[in-house]
Amino acid sequence: AQSVTQPDIHITVSEGASLELRCNYSYGATPYLFWYVQSPGQGLQLLLKYFSGDTLVQGIKGFEAEFKRSQSSFNLRKPSVHWSDAAEYFCAVVPGGGGNKLTFGTGTQLKVEL
Amino acid sequence: DGGITQSPKYLFRKEGQNVTLSCEQNLNHDAMYWYRQDPGQGLRLIYYSQIVNDFQKGDIAEGYSVSREKKESFPLTVTSAQKNPTAFYLCASRLAGAYNEQFFGPGTRLTVL
């Protein structure tokens, strides 16, 4: 079955440390890939997206993600985390070829220790 | 400023009552979506609409209804048939085209007492 997996439910990092949030998908063709961030009680904000081309994608707020076809992964990274990055992060996919329906992972809750 | 508005932010209803959640966008987007969010389950698609007067069921449409009479508006009705309606509801919209992402509203938290 087609799915999106975020293996880590909760992650805690110290401010200034590096961050990597994992996302794996199982689709036949390369899907379109997205990372969104959600602050408590708020809507979702797009961090970055990947459709094709360069597999390293730069986003807002200093985030980047790397698409690895061989691993069916699209992990989100940030070199140095700020306390304001504490939030919930969602990986989402649209099946290859585009379309209307986004499928979301279950999210990773990030806590930043000062 | 262009964006998506959802009202109200918090909504309380008694069990057995229907309730309608508002979603309006002034982005001139073609498609609109409703999601339900529960802790630990991510977002699940309820309904979506690609054009006016047309909409499709998502993954969890039972107990919900929608209409799309205007391009800017996509209200969601939570009916009494929905077994567990207490949740956070998010509306989104998207410009037509394969490479365009969805933009989200601020959400409505519905609590059924």
SS3 B97: coil
- A44 to chain B, any CB pair closer than 8 A? The answer is yes
**Interatomic CA distance for residues B65 and B27, integer angstroms:** 23
Chain-chain contact of B40 with A106 (C-beta, under 8 angstroms)? yes
Query: Which stretches in chain A have pLDDT values below 70?
Result: 1, 97-99
Token duo for residue B55: 């909409």
Any idea what the Cα angle at residue A22 is, between residues A15 and A97, rounded to 5°? 130
**Residue among A42, A92, A99 whose CB faces B106 most closely:** A42
Query: Which pLDDT value is given to residue A112?
Result: 97
Cβ proximity of B70 and B52 under 8 Å? yes
Chain A partners within 8 Å of B57 (Cβ): none
pLDDT of amino acid A22 = 98
How close A91 comes to chain B (CA, Å)? 9
Short-list A49, A51, A46, A28, CA closest to A98: A51
Return the pLDDT at A1.
64
B88, B37 Cβ separation under 8 angstroms: yes
Contacts of B111 in chain A (CB under 8 A): none
The sign one gets for the Cα dihedral A28, A105, B55, B60 is positive
Q: Which residue of A has its CA nearest to B4?
A: A43
Angstroms from B40 CA to nearest CA on chain A: 6
Contact A46 B103 (CB under 8 A): yes
pLDDT at A97 (0 to 100): 63
Q: What letter would DSSP give residue A62?
A: G
- Structure tokens that stand for B110 in this block: 């519905």
Does A96 touch chain B if contact means CB atoms closer than 8 Å? Answer: no
> CB distance A106–B41 less than 8 Å?
yes
Chain A residues in contact with B108 (beta carbon < 8 A) = none
Q: What would the two tokens of residue B50 be?
A: 């690609």
Average pLDDT for runs of 10 along chain B of length 113:
89 93 96 94 94 95 97 96 94 88 95 92
| Predicted local confidence at residue B39, as pLDDT | 86
Q: Provide the pLDDT for residue A55.
A: 92
B59, β-bridge pairs: none
pLDDT for A89 equals 98
Helix-strand-coil split of chain B, %, nearest 5: 0, 50, 50
Start-to-end CA distance of chain A, whole Å, equals: 41
- A59 in contact with B, Cβ within 8 Å: no
Interface of B to A at Cβ within 8 Å reads 4, 31, 33, 40-45, 48, 50, 58, 88, 90, 92, 94, 98-99, 101-107, 109
Which residues sit opposite A65 in a β-bridge? A57, A76
Note whether B105 contacts A43, CB cutoff 8 Å.
yes
Q: b/e per residue, B70-79, with b = 16+ CB within 10 A?
A: eebebbbebe
